[in-house]
Amino acid sequence: MKLGRYVLALAAALLAVGGAGAQELVVGLSTPVTALDPHFHNLSPNNNVADHVFDKLVHKDAKEQLRPGLAESWKALDDTTWELKLRKGVKWHDGTEFTADDVIATIKRIPNVPNSPASFATYTRPITDIAAPDKLTLRLKTARPHPLLPNDLVAIRIVPKHIAETAKTEDFNSGKAMIGTGPYKFKEYVAGDRVVLERNEGYWGPKPHWKTVRLRMITNAPARVAALLAGDVQMIEAVPTADIARLQKEPRVTVSSAVSNRLIYLHMDSDRDKSPYVFDKSGKPLEKNPLKDVRVRKAISLAIDRDAIVSRIMEGQAQPAGQLLPDFFPGTSKKLVAPKVNQDAAKKLLAEAGYPNGFSITLHSPNNRYINDEKVAQAIAQFLTRAGIDTKLEAMPSNVFFSRAGKLEFSFFLAGWGAETGETSSPLRALIGTFSPATGMGQANRGRFSDDGVDALILTAMTNIDDTKRNLMLAAACDKAIGELQAIVPVHYEVSSWALRKGLAYTGRADQYTYAFEVRPAK
């Protein structure tokens, strides 16, 4: 009896997988791929597809920790010299052998891709010299100590030398130049519709389960869910939060979730003496900018009920945030936790700062960039209004939002940051370090927070190539910047979700990528 039921369940599982042919996997992606050239546009959907065809020297696991890729090992010989040992016997999809020359040619191509709207040169610029003592060894020189060089190498997809030297962006789109060493070979690309891939039988790494993979672009979220339920696709990414609960009950589907590296936070103008969107209660501009006062910034943090946002608005698809990245990432602080809401303490801090009756402010937010961004901002505005800071919300499409934020037009806004390095120096440098083209810090610090102590902690940490020591210093910088000075107000970490037909398994990735080669039948 028991055995019979077991066999039935197994048969059902096999049928579910077998629906579209057990050897083919169809995936519904949420954003369109715009170019196949892996060095043309640094954009997640493009990188996601490129990673199926091209390998990197260094790979990342689901929790964003570094793993050997085309480089079997890497070490720093001194503060500014790195040596990488390359994998032996790796073959390109056209059968030729992979060598150090291919890497050198790739790194030379990256800053010189014509018309690139967002190049990968940011990652190769620190490399001042590159040499290959033998076919499988690379020596990289940097001008200054650059401890994140291995992390940066994760962004560089390696192409063969003859392609790096001659191929144009359109040669990749046509498929002619789509030769990598990755788990899948390129087969077909229909703009705005699909990418079809074929398994690379000679792959050096773990053999992917699926012989063919079709990556389909289904941008509308309900349509993506419907396609999964109809069995037209076996896996979708970016499951809408409103559908998660229903899909979890659905017998034909399993849901996989993982907390991501994306922090949703509030930035405050803590620089200008007079800020454009801060008013007194009667609507007159305030002469003094209250956001410069750390007590006001802390009051804002305490007034927000993160648990309510996570459970009600995000339907559990987020984690309350107390710092820049979830605890398991390197460089996070052990001391910082997500504050519990405390309206009384918030009011008290406001009174101490000289605003017993509060003030008025406008919160700006994008409305199509992050998961439920406008609704989250709406809730935050209500929490703050309850604490005495009358908050008006102005939400707008991200194309308008980011242009205006870049021109420092806002006083107070909601935004997000995905730490693609998988450690805290990325948000520390970008969001909190003093804006300065010389240090390269603060490129997204649109509140223009600035503190010499924090800067010093970050900059010293970034000259230390010892991972353990550096991460301790970064944690100290987080303690000072968030715990002591409240440079920004962390709200939550987004949780990303994937839904699959029953019988399939996928370990959700913190970098939010959807890799068909990591999808397997459930055990």
Partner 1 sequence: MTVYVLRRLAQTLLVLAITSLLVFFGLYVVGNPVEILVNPVADEVERARAAAALGLDKPIVEQYWVFLKGAFTGELGTSFVFGRSAIEVIVERMPATLELAFLAMLISVTLGVPLGLYAGLKPKSWVSKTIMAGSILGFSLPTFWVGLILILVFAVQLGWLPSTGRGPTVDVLGLQLSIVHWEGLKYALLPAINLALFKLSLIIRLTRAQVREQSLLDYIKFARAKGLPRSRVIGVHLLKNILIPLVTVVGLELGSVIAFAVVTETIFAWPGMGKLVIDSIFQLDRPVVVAYLLLIVFMFILINLVVDLLYSALDPRVRLGEQK
Q: From the CB of 440, what's the least distance to partner 1, in Å?
A: 5
Query: Among all chains, which residue has been given the structure tokens 């509060």?
Result: 358
Residue 216 CB, nearest distance to partner 1 (Å)?
6
Give CA–CA dist 519/498, Å, rounded: 11
For 212, phi then psi, to 5°, come to -125, 150
Measured from the CB atom, the residue of 279 and 410 that comes closer to partner 1 is: 410
Minimum distance from residue 222 beta carbon to partner 1 (Å): 5
Nearest approach in angstroms of CB 399 to partner 1 is 5
Task: Name residues whose C-beta falls within 8 Å of residue 389's C-beta, 6 or more positions apart in sequence.
Answer: 299, 300, 303, 350, 358, 359, 360, 361
Residue 292 has what DSSP assignment?
G
Q: 86: number of CA atoms within 13 Å, CB side?
A: 24
Measured from the CB atom, the residue of 293 and 423 that comes closer to partner 1 is 423
Q: Do 258 and 273 meet the contact criterion of CB atoms below 8 Å apart? A: no
Task: CB nearer to partner 1: give 174 or 460.
Answer: 174
CA–CA gap between residue 235 and residue 316 (Å, rounded): 21
Question: In terms of CB distance, is 398 or 507 closer to partner 1?
Answer: 398
Alpha-carbon distance of 76 to 145, in angstroms, equals 10
Which residue, 370, 62, 417, is CA-closest to 241?
A: 370
User: Nearest distance from residue 192's CB to partner 1, in Å?
Assistant: 4
Q: Do the Cβ atoms of 364 and 414 come closer than 8 Å?
A: yes
> Pairing relation of β-strands 24-29 and 212-217?
parallel
C-beta of 254: minimal distance to partner 1 in Å?
17
Identify the three-state secondary structure at position 513.
coil
Nearer to partner 1, 289 or 450 (CB): 450
C-beta closer to partner 1: residue 181 or 421: 421
Distance from C-alpha of 38 to C-alpha of 164, rounded to nearest angstrom:
11
Positions in the binding site for partner 1 (CB under 8 A): 32, 34-35, 37, 40-43, 114-119, 121-122, 125, 169-170, 173, 190-194, 216-220, 222-223, 226-227, 229-232, 368, 397-400, 402-406, 417-418, 420, 426, 430, 437, 440, 443-444
Q: Hey, CA dihedral for 392, 311, 398, 449, is it positive or negative?
A: positive
In this complex, which beta carbon is closest to partner 1, that of residue 148 or of residue 300? 148
Rounded to a whole number of angstroms, the minimum distance from the CB of residue 485 to partner 1 is 22
| Least spacing, CB of residue 12 vs partner 1, in Å | 17
Please answer whether residues 479 and 230 qualify as being in contact, where contact means their C-beta atoms are separated by less than 8 angstroms.
Answer: no
* DSSP sequence for 412-431: EEEEEEE-TTSSTHHHIIII
Q: Which is nearer to partner 1, 40 or 359 (CB)?
A: 40
Shortest Cβ distance from residue 243 to partner 1 (Å)? Answer: 12
Amino acid letter for position 497: S
Cβ distance to partner 1 smaller for residue 308 or 395 = 395
Considering beta carbons, is residue 96 or 436 the nearer one to partner 1? 436
Q: Smallest distance, Å, CB 29 to partner 1?
A: 10
Three-state secondary structure readout of 336-373: CCCCCCCHHHHHHHHHHCCCCCCCEEEEEEECCCCCCH
CA 460, CA 35: separation in Å to the nearest integer?
A: 38
Between residues 158 and 227, which has the closer beta carbon with respect to partner 1? 227
Distances, alpha carbon 489 to alpha carbons 57, 338, 354, 363, 378, in Å: 36, 10, 21, 13, 16
Q: Provide the minimum distance between the beta carbon of 321 and partner 1 in the complex, in angstroms, as a whole number.
A: 18
